[in-house]
């Protein structure tokens, strides 16, 4: 066997994985059509509305409100539900900061809880233990495309009369018990940022099945306007979060090829599940049997350094990258971010609410900390290759394990 690429050997992967984003003549034609229409923003255009309707239908939701990005989508959702000062929203500690910062933006407290050790999604038992008289909502993050335990979370939400919200930024096309995620609670959000499973560089959307909430969501995203009213009428506090026609046009084309890409990702992820499990020290993210489809924003596995001659996770990732296998960084625990360690977040709360808070360092986030230290995230374009490409991922991991002692 050739020595590790990190040490000057030949990489396992000599041909690149498919590029991302993917596009073809469809996107070019769609953009040209928008250019020539001279309707470049939403109001006189048709592209964004067409995408909203198509994506909502694809995700089995009645309504979709497209907006500038995934972070804005969560902010709009929180605003439309009138969650604000004095309120609390339970969120997982293992997620991107936007899940929590969108709550803080409106003066509510994101209550951080630990995640499930097998899926890295929010732990329902920890959720129920964190509920207080101030709690208004739970945000379920479908990490890496794997849905959270929506049965347990819905039961908790109904029992305590809370909103169940979904951060589906990773979960385009994902299914829970045969139903697409995103509108299985009160509302849910998606992101179309560059790295996501569908992209227009930036973009987001909020889905819901509630007609009254749809009106408020649309109003918040459009400067407080209401449908059918004079353009300069503003009925509630909102902002300009409208998606452009350029992005709507691109996203419609991205959606048209999404199922084909999804099948390739699922096939290759299943191959990795089978063969990486054969390698001691590699544990793929658990696939809950109630999950009937995982969108696979990333392929996540937990790495045990003890089975690789004590090689630290960071060094393993460097070796994997050198072998030609692309990865992305795991999210740091929210409780460890400066925003939450230095007390800056307390400035967004009512003084009496802030005075009630204990430091997050007093809480147990042990599973999140393991996930941050020892999980490895393969980018989803690595799942868009053929069987040889996927097998080379397995062979790269085996190669590193066999030669881990040579890395100093």
- pLDDT tens for residues 270-289? 999 999 999 999 999 988 99
- Say what the pLDDT of residue 140 is: 98
Residue 408 has pLDDT above 90, yes or no: no
Residue 1 has pLDDT above 90, yes or no: no
Residue 349 lies in a domain: no
Residue 114 lies in a domain: yes
- Say what the pLDDT of residue 152 is: 98
Q: Which residue has better confidence, 136 or 1?
A: 136
Catalytic residue among 231, 232, 347, 362: 232
Catalytic residue among 242, 265, 353, 381: 242
Percent of the chain with pLDDT over 70: 100
- Say what the pLDDT of residue 228 is: 86
Ordered strands of the 179-180 beta sheet: 179-180, 175-176, 291-293
Confirm whether 232 is a catalytic residue. Answer: yes
Residue 285 lies in a domain: no
Catalytic residue among 42, 126, 142, 170: 170
Residue 196 lies in a domain: yes
Residue 186 has pLDDT above 90, yes or no: yes
Catalytic residue among 193, 234, 373, 398: 193
Percent of the chain with pLDDT over 90: 95
Confirm whether 170 is a catalytic residue. Answer: yes
Confirm whether 96 is a catalytic residue. Answer: yes
Confirm whether 38 is a catalytic residue. Answer: no
Residue 370 lies in a domain: no
Query: Would you say 149 and 125 are in contact if contact means Cβ atoms under 8 Å apart?
Result: no
Catalytic residue among 116, 167, 288, 389: 167
Catalytic residue among 196, 275, 293, 380: 196
pLDDT in tens, 188-224: 999 999 999 999 999 999 999 999 999 999 999 999 9
- Say what the pLDDT of residue 227 is: 85
| Ranges of H-type helices in 149-222 | 150-160, 211-220
- Say what the pLDDT of residue 88 is: 98
pLDDT in tens, 336-380: 999 999 999 999 999 999 999 988 988 999 999 999 999 999 999
Confirm whether 19 is a catalytic residue. Answer: no
CATH number at residue 112: 3.40.640.10
- pLDDT confidence bin for 44, thresholds 50/70/90: confident
- pLDDT confidence bin for 45, thresholds 50/70/90: confident
- Say what the pLDDT of residue 43 is: 83
Residue 381 lies in a domain: no
Residue 100 has pLDDT above 90, yes or no: yes
Of 91-105, 174-188, 224-238, 303-317, the one with minimum mean pLDDT is 224-238
Token pair of 178 as six digits: 């045969």
- Say what the pLDDT of residue 128 is: 98
Residue 405 lies in a domain: no
Q: Measured between alpha carbons, how far is 95 from 346 in angstroms, rounded to an integer?
A: 20
Share the mean pLDDT of the chain. 96
Q: Measured between alpha carbons, how far is 27 from 23 in angstroms, rounded to an integer?
A: 6
Confirm whether 242 is a catalytic residue. Answer: yes
Q: Which residue has better confidence, 179 or 228?
A: 179
Phi, psi of 273 (to 5 degrees): -55, -45
Residue 316 has pLDDT above 90, yes or no: yes
- Going by C-alpha positions, the residue among 403, 405, 408 that lies closest to residue 10 is 403
Confirm whether 373 is a catalytic residue. Answer: no
Confirm whether 167 is a catalytic residue. Answer: yes
In the three-class reduction of DSSP (H, G, I as helix; E, B as strand; rest coil), residue 379 is classed as strand
Catalytic residue among 96, 120, 192, 365: 96
Residue 13 lies in a domain: no
Split into its structural domains, the chain has a count of 1
Q: Domain containing 80: what range?
A: 25-257
Q: Which residue has better confidence, 128 or 287?
A: 128
- Say what the pLDDT of residue 361 is: 84
- pLDDT confidence bin for 2, thresholds 50/70/90: confident
- Say what the pLDDT of residue 193 is: 98
């Amino acid at each position: 066997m050739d020595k590790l690429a990190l040490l000057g050997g030949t990489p396992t992967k000599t041909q690149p994985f498919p590029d991302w984003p993917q596009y073809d003549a469809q996107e070019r034609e769609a953009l040209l059509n928008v250019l020539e229409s001279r309707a470049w923003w939403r109001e006189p255009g048709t592209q964004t509305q067409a995408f909203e309707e198509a994506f909502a239908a694809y995700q089995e939701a009645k309504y979709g409100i497209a907006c500038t990005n995934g972070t804005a989508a969560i902010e709009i959702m929180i605003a439309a539900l009138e969650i604000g000062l004095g309120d609390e929203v339970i969120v997982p500690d293992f997620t991107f900061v936007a899940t929590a910062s969108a709550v803080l933006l409106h003066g509510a407290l994101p209550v951080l809880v630990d995640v499930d050790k097998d899926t890295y999604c929010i732990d329902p038992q920890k959720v129920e233990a964190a509920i207080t008289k101030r709690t208004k909502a739970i945000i379920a993050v479908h990490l890496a495309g794997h849905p959270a335990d929506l049965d347990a979370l819905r039961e908790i939400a109904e029992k305590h009369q809370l909103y169940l919200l979904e951060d589906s930024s990773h979960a385009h096309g994902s299914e829970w018990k045969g139903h697409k995620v995103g509108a299985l609670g009160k509302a849910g959000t998606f992101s179309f940022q560059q790295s996501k499973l569908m992209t227009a560089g930036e973009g987001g959307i909020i889905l819901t099945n509630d007609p009254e909430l749809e009106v408020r969501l649309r109003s918040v995203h459009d400067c407080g306007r209401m449908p059918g009213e004079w353009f300069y009428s503003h009925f509630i506090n909102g902002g300009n979060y409208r998606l452009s026609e350029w992005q709507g046009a691109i996203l419609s084309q991205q959606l048209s090829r999404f199922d084909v890409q999804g099948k390739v990702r699922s096939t290759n992820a299943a191959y990795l599940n089978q063969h990486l499990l054969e390698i001691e020290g590699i544990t793929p993210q658990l696939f809950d049997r109630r999950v009937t489809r995982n969108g696979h924003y990333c392929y996540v596995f937990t790495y045990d350094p003890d089975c690789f001659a004590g090689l630290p996770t960071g060094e393993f990732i460097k070796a994997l990258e050198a072998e030609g296998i692309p990865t992305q960084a795991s999210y740091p625990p929210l409780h460890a971010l400066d925003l939450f360690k230095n007390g800056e977040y307390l400035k967004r709360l009512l003084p009496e609410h802030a005075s009630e808070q204990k430091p997050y360092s007093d809480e147990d986030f042990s599973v999140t900390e393991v996930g941050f230290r020892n999980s490895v995230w393969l980018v989803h374009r690595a799942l868009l290759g053929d069987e040889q490409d996927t097998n080379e991922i397995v062979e790269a991991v085996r190669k590193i394990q066999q030669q881990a002692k040579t890395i100093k």
